[in-house]
Each structure stands twice: as structure tokens, then as C-alpha cells.
Amino acid sequence: MAITYYARKKSKKKTPKNTSVRWLASALYIFGFAAVAWLFAMLWFGIAQGEISQNFLRTVNQFFGQSAPLIPVLLTYWLVRSLIKKTSAFVFFLFGSLLTLTAFSSVLTMLKLIFSGSQITGGYAGQELFYWFEDFVGPFGASLFSLALLLVGLHMLFAIPWRVVVEKTTEFLRDDFQNWMDARAELKEKVQEGKAQVKRQASITQEPLSADRPQPSGPKIYRPQTEIQVPVAGLVKNLPRSGAQMPNASKPQDENKPAELKPFDPATFVLPSLDLLADPVNNGVVGPTDEEIAEATKRLEETLKNFEIGAHVTGVSPGPVVTRYEIKPDPGVKIASIVSISNDIALAMKAKSIRVEAPIPGKDAIGFEIPNDRPLMVTMKEILQDPVYTHSKARIPIALGRFADGRPAGATLEKWPHILIAGATNSGKSICLHTIIMSVLYHAKPNEVKFLMIDPKRLELTLYEGIPHLYDPKTSCDDVNVVTDAQGAVKSLQMLVKVMEKRLKIMELAKVKNIEGYNAWAEKKGEEKMFYIVVVIDEMADLMLQTRAAIEDSVQRLAQMARAVGIHLILCTQRPSVNVITGVIKANLPSRIALQVASKTDSRVILDGAGAELLLGRGDMLYQGTSDQKPHRIQGAYVSEAEITSVADFLRSQGAPDYPVQILADHSMQRPQDGLGTSPEELLQALKLVTERRRVSQDLLKAHFGSSARATNILSVLEMKGFITKPEGSNRWEIHYDLIEEQIQALENRDTDKYKEPEYETVYK
């Protein structure tokens, strides 16, 4: 035993520590960290200098794709862990790292398939692994197994306790939800305590909300001064006096009666009387009563108190359908905090919808437009007899209705100068159009203002058939009528463009810049004055659907240049979309009227902003003039079909339409057309073009004729007449040159006397 112990002790003393092994391990760690730094420089920052580095970087990127930057990260983790725990299980680490990198590359390949246009790449390893899985279990299974392998690789490297992770995550979510429920219950309890405290203070004392500011006694009511007058002749400017003799308009007119009447005489013509319109039904009271306003004001202020918002009602402007309550916030209260609770205020006021005007222009208050419990109808008669209309100095005043604060709303036709009216079906668009027309008929004689009426629906404007104010530049006054077809509308607008061009030339010779200046010049020189022309299009969408190119071109030219010569456009549509109200048309119509629409998108198409979707319908509108930064809310005046018929019969009884032919009819409109509006001259040009170029296409015809619509029409005519055909299964035109040559000879040998250029009439008006 002693010998054995002595031998072991002696052997232990003779075995020194292996310093060479330690030195080798330290050197390996130093070179390992250097290699990690080298890999970081190449894979993270793209620093690869030298042929070996570049080849290595290219090979690694091709093999692992965008997962290659994980290599230095994993290697750094193994080096640090081996230093701390004094272990070097490099084979286990190498297997886990390769598994993690390959699985992550497979996941990147999956993402590349999902986002095909992206720059994601998984490299050769990821593609091989993903497509190998896909061959067995399909794309979805390959994605699941790739994610599973990635989790296995991460577990091998980092020994993640997944069970603990799931438990901690579940516990965190449960605690967070419980804290939210407790905070919600606490807030609800505080709100109930605050309500109870406010009620107790209100029942005990009538102390003001703020100790340093006394509560005002009550809001000021801005009720408009309206007084219904006895309707007699002469209330509207230029109406006959009470003793003047007026034609009898009570008897119905025969169908052929207007054709038998002589043209009207401006010297004996009498404007219609207000007796033809219905009397107001509200007895001069606009908006709710004072008691209803006081009750609504109290509810509104209580709602603001419940939300701890310092504000009070300072003024009330009663209107026929909505009442505007002016709310003045206390110092330090943001407008957004009041506007954000508009839905809560609508709920408290039991209102269908509330429109907020923040702030009211010219006032330090926010306007809440709240619908009345009992809406009142605004009649045409009460607006026409109001001083806003009767005392207007405008040449053509327009009566629209009443503002939201009850004041009469009016405009002037010459300052619009063109207007767009749009809204959903049954929102009051047609009534608004009739209101504008009736305003002009009650103010202007036929020799002062004329209407070019276009009604594709054949329902609304046909009520004005035969009135002396009608006008159509493409036909004489004996055949003038409301235009109801799309092709007739195109011809009328094209002829009106020529009338505009001729008037511009006349004004250039007279050295004047607008119709007012020319009429003043004509009065001095003894010449005949020009009359205003109002173009009314009831449904723009139908015309755009049938003849888009021609209508858009004519409307664009008139909207850009016709204002100075006294031509004004009124465009209406019940489909407010960008296909109907195009950018070209919209840019030249500065004045807009938006009635109730279905969505904010439709409102933005009309007004370039939201708001029309909150309207109530039945004539409730937003009007934005040329100088208005924000639209004004107006309740449109109502005019019934019976009233329109009475006024139209009264006007028809005084004569038929009468106006001189300003421009002779264009012979191109009278000559035979070769289908789809193509003239023989255009057909001859197209046939010669095909013969010269030895080919045919829409682009070729468009380059020659300058219009895509004309090119399409001419191409269709050539196919209909058999000059070109397209064999079945082919996309190339087959040209029949023998038929084309015969047609060219026939067209060149035709009688050309009836195809003279149009001449201008010597009568300028």
C-alpha cells in the first residue's frame, strides 16, 4: 500500500501541465475571432478584397442566399459559449448551424414564391430542400416542414425551453387583458360618479361652471326677419303693376296652339306673376320654435359636460330643415376634441346625421348643423318675393332656397359662370334645376335670355316645350324644341361653339371684352343687342355614354371661352363619377351644387371634399361658388309640376320662340352620312390613305384624322362596306383594293355643288 501510494504521488509530481495545449487553444480562439471578423466584413458590409475572399463570398451567397449573414453570428455565439462553459462540442454546433441555415434558406424560398416580385433569395440549399419537401407534401406542407426544421435547429443551438415560452406568453396576455378590464370598469365608475355629482350640484345651486367666468344667460337666436307679403304683380323686378293687363294663363293650351301663335313681341311681353306659384305653408316662421331651441341647447350643453369638454352654446341660427348651433370652446380646449364626439352628439340629439363646420368663417365658434324635428318646406314664391332677389342688381339673379341659418340664398348667373349639379337619385336634383330655370323666367324676357335645353330622359325639361325662351342654334325658331336625342345634342353644341366663335369675332371688331360691353356699344350705335344663352343639360351621364368624345370637346370649348359672350352652362347628373364628370369638364366648372350622395368618394368628385354624404336629401344641398373656400348648406326651394305648367302656359300664351339664324346650317350636317357620322369626304380621304400606305389600322387613321373616336368610326365604316375584312382566326386586316379603287372613282366623279363650305349669316345677334 505504501509503495503504491508513493508511486502514485511520485508519478503525479512528475506530470507537469501541458502548456503547449493551452497555447494551441488560445491561438485557435484568436484565429477564430479573426475569422468571425473577416466573415462579418464580407457578409454584412460587402468588404471582399482578394481573389479568395471574392470567390468565397460568391460561393456562400449562391449556396445559402440571404441567410448567409447568419454564419458569423452563429460562429460568434459558439466561440463565446465555449470560452464561458469550457466546452467544445463543435460537431453538434456544426450540425445545428447547418440545419438552421438550410431551413432558414428554405423559408426564404417560400417567401420568394409568395412575393414573386421581391428580391428575396434562398440560395441553392434552400431551393433544394423546399422543392424536395414540395415533391412529397406540396407547397403548404413544404412551408410547414421548413418552419419545423428551423425551430429544431434553433433549439439545438440555443436550447430554447418552448414550454416555458408558451406559458410566459399566455400569462402575459391574460394579465394584460385583466388589467384592461379593470381600467375600463374603473373609468366607467368614475364617469357615473361625475354624472351624479353634476346632477346634485344642478339640483342644489345654479353655480356657473367656472368660478372666474359667469355662465351666459342663454344663446342668442339669429332668426331671420321674414314676412309673407300679399302676392301681387310687381313684387319681382320688371313685373307689371297691379293695374296692368296680363294674358289669361288659366286656360289650358291646345297641343298645336304654340305653332299657331305669332312670335312674341318684346314691347307687349309680360313677365309671369307670383299668383301662379303656391303660397308658403309656414306662415313666415323659419325653423323650430324658441322652446324647441332651448330644449335642444340644454341637451347639447349637457352632452359636452358629460365628456368633460369646456364649451357653451353662444348662438343659434334656425333654418327650415337644419338649425346651426354655434359652440364656443373655453380657452385651451382644442377644436378636434369637440369635432371627434360629433357621433355622440348625434346620438344625444337623436339626429340622423350632423354636419360640423369647424370653425365658422368669420366667427370664433364651431357650427353644429342639427336636423329639425319638424322640417319645413321652402317654396319658390317666398324666395322670389324676398328683397335678396327683387332688389338684386345682377343681370340674371338666381334663387336657390334658404341657407342653414334661415337666410334666403341666391346667386348670379354671370358670376358662376358655369355650374355643375350632381346628386343621387331622388335627392332633389331636378327640382333644383327647375328652381334655377324658373328664377330666370321670372326675371328675363325672351329677347334677353334664351335656353338651349337638352333632356335625354325626356321627362323634366319637356315641360317647357314651346315657351318663347327656347333656342337651338342648329335649327330655325319655327322648329325649335327641347333636344332629346344624343346626336341632336352633339349637333346643337357644335353649332353653339360656332356661334361662340362668331360672337368673339364681332366683339373683337367692336373693341369690347364681354357681352355687357358689347350691348352698351350696340345701344350707342343703334345695333341689335346680344342675348344670353343658358345651356341646360339634365342628364350628362347618358350623353357621355353615347357620344363621349364629341360632347366632352364641345363642353370643354364652351366652358373655357363662352362666358365672355354670354353663354353659360348648367350640367346635371345623377351619377357623380370620374367617367361622367371628367377632369377636363370639372376644371372648367368652378361652381358646384352637391345634393345627397351615397359615399364620401362621390362627394369628393363633386366638391373635392367630403360632406355631401351627410345631407338629408329632398333638396338639402351644398353650394360652392367661385369665391367660396367652403361650401354653404342650402335647403333648396320647391317648385311643383303644376306651378311649372302654369308658368309655361302663361309664357306660351304670349308667343312662340323667335330668334334670327345666327349661322347658316352646315351643309355637312344635311348631306348623307356613311354610317356612324362619317362624311363622304372623310371616307374618300381614308380610302386614299389605305391605297397609299398599303395597310390599315386605327393608329394610322388616328394620326391622319387627329381623333381616336373618328378613327374608330371610319374603321367600322370600312369594314361595314366590305373594303376591309378580318378572316376568322387572324388579327390582320385583309384589304380589297379593287373595291377601294372603284369607290374612289365614284366619289371623285360625284356632284360637288351641294358640298360647298358653310356661309355665315349677315345678321349678328
468-490, pLDDT tens digit by residue? 999 999 888 888 899 998 888 98
CB 400 within 8 A of CB 394: no
Share of the chain above pLDDT 90, in %: 13
Q: How confident is residue 199, by pLDDT bands cut at 50, 70 and 90?
A: low
Which residues fall within 8 angstroms of residue 484, CB to CB, at 6 or more apart?
A: 454, 455, 456, 458, 462
Q: What is the CATH number of the domain that holds 331?
A: 3.30.980.40
Rounded to whole angstroms, what are the CA distances from 313 to 303, 363, 373? Answer: 12, 13, 19
Please report the pLDDT score of residue 294 as a whole number. Answer: 87
Q: How confident is residue 350, by pLDDT bands cut at 50, 70 and 90?
A: confident
* 538 in any annotated domain: yes
Q: How confident is residue 5, by pLDDT bands cut at 50, 70 and 90?
A: very low
Residue of higher predicted confidence among 283 and 579: 579
Average pLDDT over residues 376-382: 88
* 182 in any annotated domain: no
Average pLDDT in the chain? 78
The H or E element containing residue 236 is: none
62: how many CB neighbours lie within 10 A of its CB?
A: 13
Please report the pLDDT score of residue 439 as a whole number. Answer: 92
Please report the pLDDT score of residue 763 as a whole number. Answer: 37
Rounded to whole angstroms, what are the CA distances from 535 to 71, 567, 627? Answer: 76, 7, 22
Same domain, yes or no, for 580 and 696?
no
Average pLDDT over residues 224-234: 42
**Rounded to an integer, what distance in angstroms lies between the CA atom of residue 392 and that of residue 396?**
9
Same domain, yes or no, for 319 and 359?
yes
Same domain, yes or no, for 355 and 391?
no
* 445 in any annotated domain: yes
Max intra-chain CA distance, the chain:
157
Please report the pLDDT score of residue 217 as a whole number. Answer: 53
For CA atoms 217, 218, 224, 226, give the dihedral sign: negative
Domain end among 137, 160, 183:
160
Please report the pLDDT score of residue 198 as a whole number. Answer: 64
Q: How confident is residue 69, by pLDDT bands cut at 50, 70 and 90?
A: confident
- Tens of pLDDT, residue by residue over 488-530, are 898 899 899 999 999 999 898 889 999 999 999 988 888 888 9
* 244 in any annotated domain: no
Residue of higher predicted confidence among 100 and 678: 100
- Tens of pLDDT, residue by residue over 727-752, are 766 778 888 888 888 888 888 776 44
Peptide bond into 468 cis (omega under 30): no
Q: How confident is residue 218, by pLDDT bands cut at 50, 70 and 90?
A: low
Q: How confident is residue 245, by pLDDT bands cut at 50, 70 and 90?
A: very low
Task: Please state whether beta strands 567-573 and 532-537 pair in parallel, antiparallel, or not at all (unpaired).
Answer: parallel
Rounded to whole angstroms, what are the CA distances from 380 to 32, 246, 280? Answer: 94, 21, 8
CA nearest to 572, candidates 607, 619, 621, 538: 538
Q: What is the CATH number of the domain that holds 734?
A: 1.10.10
Angle (CA) 120 126 132, round 5°: 130
Task: Give the domain range for residue 720.
Answer: 667-755
Domain end among 614, 649, 684:
649
Q: What is the CATH number of the domain that holds 396?
A: 3.40.50.300
**CA contacts within 13 A on the Cβ side of 347:** 6
* 706 in any annotated domain: yes
Same domain, yes or no, for 294 and 367?
yes
For CA atoms 558, 564, 567, 568, give the dihedral sign: positive
Q: Which three cell numbers stand for residue 343?
A: 357621433
Same domain, yes or no, for 274 and 310?
no
pLDDT surpasses 80 at 676: no
pLDDT surpasses 50 at 583: yes
Same domain, yes or no, for 72 and 53?
yes
Please report the pLDDT score of residue 232 as a whole number. Answer: 32
Give the 3-state secondary structure of 397-411: EEEEEEECCCCEEEE
The H or E element containing residue 48 is: none
Same domain, yes or no, for 332 and 387?
no
**Rounded to an integer, what distance in angstroms lies between the CA atom of residue 214 and that of residue 688?**
90
Same domain, yes or no, for 525 and 400?
yes
Please report the pLDDT score of residue 283 as a whole number. Answer: 61
Angle (CA) 597 601 603, round 5°: 45
Same domain, yes or no, for 358 and 425?
no
Same domain, yes or no, for 636 and 543?
yes
The residue with cell 361650401 is: 631
* 713 in any annotated domain: yes
**Rounded to an integer, what distance in angstroms lies between the CA atom of residue 104 and that of residue 120?**
12
Same domain, yes or no, for 120 and 29?
yes
* Domains contained in the chain, number: 4
Same domain, yes or no, for 638 and 676?
no
* 762 in any annotated domain: no
The H or E element containing residue 533 is: strand 532-537
